[in-house]
């Protein structure tokens, strides 16, 4: 019996499941999906959080801290990618013959039960595009099940348990986790070198995405790809599946025509097979979001969603939490929070800001992981130099320890005028003192830099 079939049997039998790292962005919705199916669920997390408290309010027992005894009574364990083999709960489970599954394997098992499994992948744009797809499917009354790696205001959460025949999931390449999925429609937005603590190089990343594309069924599945991204097209070269392309190129199967910009809002026609499929009014700024919308429209076309629902869904989309999210003002400066943590994402973010504002750009950046900071150091420096003023918080460790001996102070030393702030208190003071009318302040990073926004912005 393969692992997925074994897990499927345990889920169908409603056996007690224990989730390690249950408060995580994709673990907490998984816990809720299993709990809603009537499966006894317990879990553990390293620290208390709003997600943990929400789970506990629904009757799920959550232990703070990891210990072997937390697993008592469980028939199987599902772990987050951050829970390594030396985690005491993983060790206890294996010592006692309790099978341990990966989070991605659980989602892969669940999606087997849906007619349509739409999986959104790519180095950048996954959360936004998955959110756009959710808006479209909701507008089309498909009643989808959804898993997003961020909070979508439409759902007031990062997940939804629907009763329709479609599931849409944000699909991450890190640790090849998306290779446990079972997509019927696989979307690849773009590919860059990232997660180089796991992948060897860009070619290794491409190999992973190629394997992902090959997961779709040979005759009934579809791979939706960005024709404008050379790395993506390299990755799917030779893939013997139905390929549908999107992009700004006139050669794309689904493309944007007659783009009209009005401040941060764009309007354009989505063209498919030489005909206008729908007219879109997009209320999130940036050319990258036009491309994300094209990807969502392409997926909708593959799923047979009418153009009218695509237009309504995309017009209603106002962004996901921490994706160029407006937080308020300080001293007349507008404050936005963003999840960008890769040089390519920083570039897109700064391009977008320059498109909608001629004011000064003040960037407060918290690098994410020591390995990424080192591997992409020069690229980070090049993008940081584009801001008018830069403040750097210390690197967010996430899953790592600093065996490299690198600090945000090293980045600051290479960016003229940049200031390294060892504490958030110091960072907030600098931003408040520096802010002036007409400025744009960006708090950026995949760590916890977003926590300064509530203190920074002025209460109305």
Position 460 confidence tier, pLDDT thresholds 50, 70, 90: low
| Residue 400 is assigned to a structural domain of this protein | yes
Is residue 170 flagged as an active site residue?
yes
- Is residue 164 packed enough to be buried (19+ CB in 10 Å), middle (13-18) or exposed (0-12)? middle
Over residues 374-391, the mean pLDDT reads: 97
pLDDT (tens digit per residue) in 402-444: 999 999 999 999 999 999 999 999 999 999 999 999 999 999 9
pLDDT (tens digit per residue) in 307-327: 999 999 999 999 888 888 999
Position 337 confidence tier, pLDDT thresholds 50, 70, 90: very high
The tally of domains found in the chain comes to 3
Contact criterion met (CB below 8 Å) for 373 and 395:
yes
pLDDT at 1: 54
DSSP-derived secondary structure for 31-79: HHHHHHTT--EEEEESS--HHHHHHHHTT-EEEES--GGGGTT-SEEEE
Lowest mean pLDDT among 22-36, 233-247, 322-336: 22-36
Same domain, 199 and 306: yes
| Residue 106 is assigned to a structural domain of this protein | no
Same domain, 149 and 63: no
Question: CB atoms < 10 A from the CB of 273, how many?
Answer: 8
pLDDT (tens digit per residue) in 260-307: 998 778 999 999 999 999 999 999 999 999 999 999 999 999 999 999
| Domain end (from 253, 282, 316) | 316
* Residue with the larger pLDDT of the pair 324 and 377: 377
| Residue 108 is assigned to a structural domain of this protein | no
Is residue 257 flagged as an active site residue?
no
Same domain, 152 and 194: yes
Same domain, 334 and 257: no
In the numeric block, the tokens 């025509």 are attached to 257
pLDDT (tens digit per residue) in 102-153: 999 999 998 988 999 999 999 999 999 999 999 999 999 999 999 998 788 9
Residue of 42, 123, 127, 245 marked active site: 127
CATH code (residue 452): 3.90.190.20
Same domain, 173 and 209: yes
CA distance 190 to 127: 13
| Residue 107 is assigned to a structural domain of this protein | no
| Residue 143 is assigned to a structural domain of this protein | yes
Same domain, 167 and 251: yes
| Residue 342 is assigned to a structural domain of this protein | yes
Residue 240 has pLDDT above 90, yes or no: yes
Is residue 385 flagged as an active site residue?
no
Same domain, 137 and 208: yes
| Residue 144 is assigned to a structural domain of this protein | yes
* Residue with the larger pLDDT of the pair 343 and 458: 343
What is the domain extent for residue 169? 114-316
Position 28 confidence tier, pLDDT thresholds 50, 70, 90: confident
pLDDT at 51: 86
Query: What percentage of the chain has pLDDT greater than the value 70?
Result: 99
Mean pLDDT of the chain: 94
| Residue 123 is assigned to a structural domain of this protein | yes
Contact criterion met (CB below 8 Å) for 27 and 19:
yes
pLDDT (tens digit per residue) in 342-370: 999 999 999 999 988 889 999 999 999 99
Q: What are phi and psi of 373, to 5 degrees?
A: -60, -40
pLDDT at 71: 97
Residue of 89, 102, 170, 345 marked active site: 170
Our CA dihedral for 13, 16, 17, 23, rounded to 10 degrees, sits at 130
Burial 133-162, CB ≥16 within 10 A → b, else e: bbbbbbbbebebbbbbbbbbebbebbbbbb
Residue 397 has pLDDT above 60, yes or no: yes
Residue of 42, 80, 105, 126 marked active site: 126
| Domain end (from 101, 125, 140) | 101
Query: What percentage of the chain has pLDDT greater than the value 90?
Result: 84
Same domain, 220 and 301: yes
pLDDT at 175: 85
pLDDT at 33: 85
The crossing angle, in degrees rounded to 10, of helices 377-384 and 343-356 is: 10
pLDDT at 338: 94
Residue 336 has pLDDT above 60, yes or no: yes
List beta partners, residue 365.
392, 444
Position 222 confidence tier, pLDDT thresholds 50, 70, 90: very high
CATH code (residue 19): 3.40.50.720
Same domain, 190 and 228: yes
CATH code (residue 176): 3.40.1190.10
pLDDT at 25: 77
Same domain, 59 and 121: no
Same domain, 161 and 66: no
| Residue 75 tokens, joined | 């028939």
Same domain, 131 and 263: yes
Residue 29 has pLDDT above 90, yes or no: no
């Amino acid at each position: 019996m393969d692992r997925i079939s074994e897990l499927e049997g345990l889920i169908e039998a409603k056996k007690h499941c224990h989730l390690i790292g249950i408060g995580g962005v994709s673990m907490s919705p998984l816990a809720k999906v299993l709990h809603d199916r009537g499966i006894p669920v317990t879990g553990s997390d390293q620290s208390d959080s709003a997600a943990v408290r929400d789970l506990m309010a629904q009757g799920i027992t959550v232990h703070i801290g990891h210990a072997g005894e937390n697993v008592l009574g469980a028939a199987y364990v599902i772990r987050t990618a951050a829970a390594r083999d030396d985690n005491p709960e993983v060790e206890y489970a294996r010592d006692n013959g309790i099978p341990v599954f990966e989070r991605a394997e659980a989602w892969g098992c669940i999606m087997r039960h849906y007619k349509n499994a739409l999986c959104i992948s790519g180095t950048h744009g996954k959360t936004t595009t998955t959110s756009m797809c959710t808006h479209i499917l909701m507008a089309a009354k498909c009643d989808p099940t959804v898993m997003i790696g961020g909070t979508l205001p439409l759902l007031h959460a990062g997940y939804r348990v629907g009763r329709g025949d479609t599931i849409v999931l944000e699909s991450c390449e890190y640790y090849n986790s998306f290779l446990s999925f079972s997509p019927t429609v696989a979307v690849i937005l773009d590919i860059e070198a990232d997660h180089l603590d796991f992948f060897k190089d860009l070619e290794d990343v491409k190999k992973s995405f190629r394997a992902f594309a090959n997961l779709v069924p040979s005759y009934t599945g579809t791979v939706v790809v960005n024709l404008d991204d050379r790395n993506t097209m390299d990755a799917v070269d030779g893939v013997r599946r139905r390929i549908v392309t999107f992009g700004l190129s006139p050669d794309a199967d689904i493309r944007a025509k007659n783009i009209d910009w009005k401040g941060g809002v764009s309007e354009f026609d989505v063209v498919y097979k030489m005909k206008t499929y729908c007219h879109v009014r997009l209320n999130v700024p940036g050319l990258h979001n036009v491309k994300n919308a094209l990807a969502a429209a392409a997926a909708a076309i593959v799923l047979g969603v009418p153009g009218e629902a695509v237009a309504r869904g995309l017009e209603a989309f106002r962004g996901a939490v921490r994706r160029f999210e407006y937080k308020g003002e300080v001293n007349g400066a507008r404050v936005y929070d963003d999840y960008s943590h890769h040089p390519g994402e920083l570039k897109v973010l700064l391009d977008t800001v320059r498109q909608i504002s001629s004011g000064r750009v003040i960037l407060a950046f918290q690098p994410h992981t020591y390995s990424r900071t080192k591997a992409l150091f020069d690229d980070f420096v090049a993008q940081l130099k584009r801001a008018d003023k830069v403040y750097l918080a210390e690197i967010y460790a996430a899953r790592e320890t600093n065996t490299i001996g690198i600090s945000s102070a090293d980045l600051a030393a290479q960016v003229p005028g940049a200031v390294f702030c060892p504490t958030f208190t110091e960072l907030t003071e600098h931003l408040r003192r520096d802010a002036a009318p007409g400025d744009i302040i960006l708090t950026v990073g995949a760590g916890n830099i977003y926590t300064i926004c509530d203190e920074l912005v002025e209460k109305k």
